[in-house]
Amino acid sequence: MDERDKLATSQAALQWAASYLGEHGIRDARMDAELLLAHCLVQPRLQFYLEPQRPLAADERERFAELISRRGRREPLQYITGRQEFMSLEFLVSPAVLIPRADTEMLVETALSWARNQARSLRILDLCTGSGAVAVSLAHYLEGSDIWAGDISAAAIEVARANAERLGTHVCFAQGDLTGPFRGAVFDLITANPPYIPRDDICGLEPEVGVAEPKLALDGGQDGLDFYRRLAVEATPLLGPGGKVMLEIGWDEGPQVQAILTEAGFTTIKLIKDYAGRDRVVTASRPPTQDRPPSDSKASQPRTVPK
């Protein structure tokens, strides 16, 4: 068969691409082939079933072959299409940001259900915002709240800003190291999906993650917990009375993150599972000592307490 016949129609092209991707270790080879052809032809996938014999023009064949070869080199599908759906919204992504995960919807759902039960408009800060998926979803689904978001990467902030704008939401972004840009401000809720993969585990991840995604967004230090240690200390002065933190965690990090937050004085610490039944989100309330002026706290705690 002539090399070009393999891509002569949409059906033939999909067959060729699915087997090529399968040979290159792509798990959902047929699905990825369909999504990439749909992206290439700017058509819904359904169209390939309605019109399987649709001929591909020479330039379409060339572009499709190039997309498939990129995917075959284990570039994530979402970096090729530049898009990922999250919370039923379409987000732009680039290699500067982590691709939003379905797991992280649990963080947004948890924040939304808490926020909807508060009888006031809220000030919310999302740290390590990356593509802005969490911050922009909160802004979209929570009318009347003020949302801030930060990331250490200027390139990520650019992507996040573009997402906020495209989706018609208002989020105030600031670039800087974790809580750095927000010192002196007070929030009702701080959310974050910080980097939490233990450093030495990154090279063992699928190449789509370990090679293609930004190390900065994955690397949580030697044991993966560096950012929780920092957040436990740095979030406290940024929280108002009744303030909460809600953090995504690795499925096996629950007990350690709970211990870190307990140590820092947080209360009502809860672990929330994802749809796969694994620990995914931890929520906690601001240390209550924050409610007392510092001078009071010593005076009201004499060394010997008369009983």
The C-alpha atoms of residue 26 and residue 77 are separated, in whole angstroms, by: 10
Residue 197 within binding range of ligand GLN, rule CB under 6 A = yes
Residue 100 within binding range of ligand GLN, rule CB under 6 A = no
First CA to last CA across the chain, in angstroms?
94
Residue 230 within binding range of ligand GLN, rule CB under 6 A = no
Residue 193 within binding range of ligand GLN, rule CB under 6 A = yes
Q: Which stretch binds ligand GLN (CB under 6 A): 138-146, 189-197, 228-236, 279-287?
A: 189-197
72: tokens are: 């075959």
Residue 209 within binding range of ligand GLN, rule CB under 6 A = yes
Residue 86 within binding range of ligand GLN, rule CB under 6 A = no
The C-alpha atoms of residue 285 and residue 158 are separated, in whole angstroms, by: 31
Which residues make beta-bridge pairs with 173? 149
The nearest distance, CB 273 to ligand GLN, in angstroms, is 15
Residue 195 within binding range of ligand GLN, rule CB under 6 A = yes
Residue 198 within binding range of ligand GLN, rule CB under 6 A = no
Interface with ligand GLN (CB under 6 A), residue from 101, 161, 199, 230: 101
**261-296: b (≥16 Cβ within 10 Å) or e:** beebebeebebbebeeeebbbbbbbbbeebeeeeee
CA 174 distance to own-chain centroid: 17
The nearest distance, CB 192 to ligand GLN, in angstroms, is 9
The nearest distance, CB 219 to ligand GLN, in angstroms, is 8
32/253 with CB nearer ligand GLN: 253
Q: Which stretch binds ligand GLN (CB under 6 A): 34-42, 48-56, 81-89, 191-199?
A: 191-199
Total Cβ atoms within 10 A of residue 222: 10
Which residues make beta-bridge pairs with 283? 246, 270
Q: Which stretch binds ligand GLN (CB under 6 A): 46-54, 146-154, 194-202, 292-300?
A: 194-202
Total Cβ atoms within 10 A of residue 300: 8
The nearest distance, CB 248 to ligand GLN, in angstroms, is 6
Give the C-alpha distances (Å, rounded to integers) separating 273 from 99, 117, 229, 253, 280.
Answer: 21, 20, 21, 12, 5
Interface with ligand GLN (CB under 6 A), residue from 7, 111, 178, 218: 218
Residues whose CB falls within 8 Å of the CB of residue 250, separated by 6 or more in sequence, listed in order = 196, 197, 220, 224
194/254 with CB nearer ligand GLN: 194
The nearest distance, CB 209 to ligand GLN, in angstroms, is 5
The nearest distance, CB 294 to ligand GLN, in angstroms, is 34
Interface with ligand GLN (CB under 6 A), residue from 196, 198, 247, 279: 196
The nearest distance, CB 80 to ligand GLN, in angstroms, is 18
Residues whose CB falls within 8 Å of the CB of residue 6, separated by 6 or more in sequence, listed in order = 12, 13, 16
3-state secondary structure of 160: helix
Q: Which residues bind ligand GLN (CB under 6 A)?
A: 101, 103, 193-197, 209, 218
